[in-house]
Structures are given as C-alpha cells and as structure tokens.
Amino acid sequence: MGLFPQQKITAALLMLAYGASADQVDKIMRMGKSTIPESLMRFCGAIESIYIAEYLRKPTDIDLQRLLKKGEMRGFPGMIGNIDCMHWTGAAKLFDVESLRSIMVTCIILHNMIVEDEYDYDAVDEYEPNTMNNSRTRTYCTHDATEKPVQHEPLER
C-alpha cells in the first residue's frame, strides 16, 4: 500500500527485461522481496487481460511471408521468430509453471507491441550483418557551414 505504482511497474520491468531476481531489485527499488514477485505477477496479469486479443494473435499470411523471408535472409530458413529467454534460466526456478506461462505471454505481448510501434512496413527490409558500419551509422545530423551533412568514419572498437 505504501509504494508508488511506478516502483512496482519498474520492478516488474527490471525482472522481465533483465531476468533480475527479487534480491537484485529490492535494494534498487526499495521494496520488500515478497512484494516484488507479487508486483510482477500483477503486472503480467494486467498486460495479459488487456492486450492478449490484440497482440497475441495468429500471424496473417502476409506476416508469415515477411517473417520467413527475414529468417531466410539471416541464414535461418523456415524460422518465423525467436524469443531468447536464456537470461531467465536461474530466476525461473522461483516460479511455478502457471506463473512462468504468464511471464512468457507477457514478454511476447510486449515484444509484439514494440515491433508494431517500431516496424516500418513501407521500408525495404534488408538484413545488415554489420549494423555498426553501414550508411545509416556513418551519416549524422551535424552540419558544417555549408549545411551539408558531415560524413564521419565509423568508430572502431
């Protein structure tokens, strides 16, 4: 009762995004270790109940063709997607099967929301194996005195 909703949501998102345990989140969020998993499950339940119909639907034929093409371009023919959940291997031991199902469904819904928000359906979908050295990363919005974009060499690590 004495915690802000923002604290509870942030704790849930930390656990979902990073696979953080309640022990890792409690000091950052100044919450009790028992409140954190409860906040996570309430968050997952709310996301499921509100968005499941819209964001957890079967892909359309157009969706499937686009995903299959993207997978093939990246060297994975026949693969329509991937959810890497390896960071949950240790933290998953604390939850029962139904809780893990709810967490996974929430992750899928949030992923689909992000894809819908960021995906440009009109753009040419091309796979760039080196995303740190392409035409988009070499041109910046800075300008010289002539108002032409300044070309910078990519940073080498």
Q: Per-residue pLDDT for 134 more than 90?
A: no
Is residue 111 within 8 A of residue 92, CB to CB? The reply is no
Confidence of residue 46 (pLDDT cuts 50, 70, 90): very high
Q: Share the mean pLDDT of the chain.
A: 76
Total-model pTM = 0.62
Q: What percent of the chain has pLDDT over 90?
A: 11
Confidence at residue 51, expressed as pLDDT on a 0 to 100 scale: 93
Strand partners, 149: 143
Q: Per-residue pLDDT for 50 more than 50?
A: yes
Q: What is the mean pLDDT of residues 146-151?
A: 59
Q: What is the 3-state secondary structure (H, E, C) of 113-133?
A: HHHHHHCCCCCCCCCCCCCCC
* 95 class by beta-carbon count within 10 Å (0-12 exposed, 13-18 middle, 19+ buried): middle
| φ, ψ at 19 (rounded to 5°) | 70, 25
Q: Whole-angstrom Cα distance, residue 14 to residue 25?
A: 7
Coil, strand or helix: which one is 95?
coil
Tokens encoding 147: 């108002």
Q: Per-residue pLDDT for 1 more than 90?
A: no
Confidence at residue 14, expressed as pLDDT on a 0 to 100 scale: 87
With vertex at residue 42, the alpha carbon angle to CA 92 and CA 37, rounded to the nearest 5 degrees, is: 40
